[in-house]
């Protein structure tokens, strides 16, 4: 074993065993050397402060067509990133995969390299009986029926969206005269559980919720704990499916409205 390898092994051991040393190494990597983040593979400067989050790498490509000068920056694992501009401000579209664990890693690393506002676009599954398929569901909060958020904040902490962003999302639904509802979504960890017994489960066990989804709670909790803004716009449907253009356009127009009224950076 060469001296270099031995040193690397030693350092890896220290990083694993001593949190203080890990903090120091993280600081050197992220803030001094500006190395790319571990999973998303991007460094500061490669994304904008406004970030659209989607599940599917293919949806990221679709959403990027609405940006000005979109460029594919990176594609590692499920994280595919396009960066472009909207009205002069830098905006990125990132796919974060299905589920809390990958969404939380995505938001955490994006926040570390300059993401300030996260808008998640996803599918609202097993919607409540009064909700029609295709309706826009604006999540002002999420029921934390999932595990990732627990490692960021205790269960008593509310998974809620940014007030201004929720207001902009509602305005953009009104502007596009789309049917919408503002309410709670239930974020869960198991897709086939909700898919199998959708109506009975939603209405009986989760009253006062509009739908179920898999990412919202993790995105909201992670962003909130890291001091960033986040929101979630879902479209009611009966299964995970590609995002519709109307859905993405509504999200983008909400971002434009947010930029016009509130300047994040």
Partner 1 sequence: MKISREEYANHGLLGCSPGTIGRYVLLPGDPDRVPMIAELFADAKEVSRTREFCAYSGTLQGEMVSAVSTGMGGPSTAITVQELAHLGAKVLIRVGTSGAMQKFMEATDLVITWGAVRDEYTSQQYLPLSYPAVADLDVTLALSAAATELGFRHYIGITQSKDAFYGEHQPERMPVKHQLKQNWFAWRKAGVLCSEMEAAVLFITAPVFGVKAGGIMVAGPSKQSLQNLLKTAVRAIEILIEQEKGGAS
Give residues in contact with partner 1 (CB under 8 A): 140-145, 152-160, 163, 166-167, 170, 182, 184, 207-208, 224-225, 227
- Return the number of the residue (157 or 191) whose C-beta is nearest partner 1: 157
- Return the number of the residue (16 or 200) whose C-beta is nearest partner 1: 200
Closest CB 50 distance from partner 1, rounded Å: 20
Q: What is the widest separation between alpha-carbon atoms in the chain?
A: 67
Closest CB 205 distance from partner 1, rounded Å: 9
- Return the number of the residue (223 or 255) whose C-beta is nearest partner 1: 223
C-alpha–C-alpha distance, residues 250 and 52, integer Å: 12
In the structure encoding, which two tokens stand for residue 98, read together?
A: 């299905």
Task: Give kind and range of the element (H or E) at residue 209.
Answer: strand 209-213
Cβ atoms of residues 112 and 35 within 8 Å? no
C-alpha–C-alpha distance, residues 97 and 148, integer Å: 14
Task: Give kind and range of the element (H or E) at residue 186.
Answer: strand 180-188
Closest CB 262 distance from partner 1, rounded Å: 12
Closest CB 158 distance from partner 1, rounded Å: 4
- Return the number of the residue (40 or 234) whose C-beta is nearest partner 1: 234
């Amino acid at each position: 074993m060469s001296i270099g390898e031995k040193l690397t092994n030693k350092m890896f051991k220290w990083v694993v065993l001593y949190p203080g040393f890990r903090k120091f190494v993280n600081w050197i990597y992220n803030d001094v050397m500006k190395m790319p983040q571990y999973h998303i593979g991007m460094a500061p400067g490669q994304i904008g402060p406004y970030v659209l989050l989607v599940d599917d790498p293919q949806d990221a490509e679709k959403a990027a067509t609405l940006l000005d000068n979109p460029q594919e920056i990176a594609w590692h694992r499920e994280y595919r990133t396009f960066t472009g501009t909207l009205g002069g401000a830098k905006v990125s579209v990132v796919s974060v995969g299905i589920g809390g664990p990958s969404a939380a890693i995505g938001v955490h690393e994006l926040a570390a390299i300059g993401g300030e506002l996260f808008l998640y676009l996803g599918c609202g599954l097993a919607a409540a009986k009064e909700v029609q398929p295709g309706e826009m569901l604006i999540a002002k909060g999420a029921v934390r029926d999932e595990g990732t958020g627990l490692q960021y904040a205790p269960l008593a902490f509310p998974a809620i969206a940014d007030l201004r962003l929720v207001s902009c999302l509602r305005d953009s639904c009104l502007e596009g005269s789309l049917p919408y509802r503002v309410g709670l979504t239930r974020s869960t960890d198991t897709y086939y559980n909700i898919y199998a017994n959708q109506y009975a489960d939603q209405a009986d066990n989760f009253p006062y919720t509009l739908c179920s989804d898999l990412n919202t709670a993790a995105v909201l909790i992670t962003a909130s704990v890291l001091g960033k803004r986040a929101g979630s716009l879902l479209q009611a449907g009966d299964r995970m499916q590609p995002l519709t253009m109307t859905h993405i356009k509504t999200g983008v127009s909400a971002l434009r409205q947010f930029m016009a009224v509130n300047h994040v950076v």
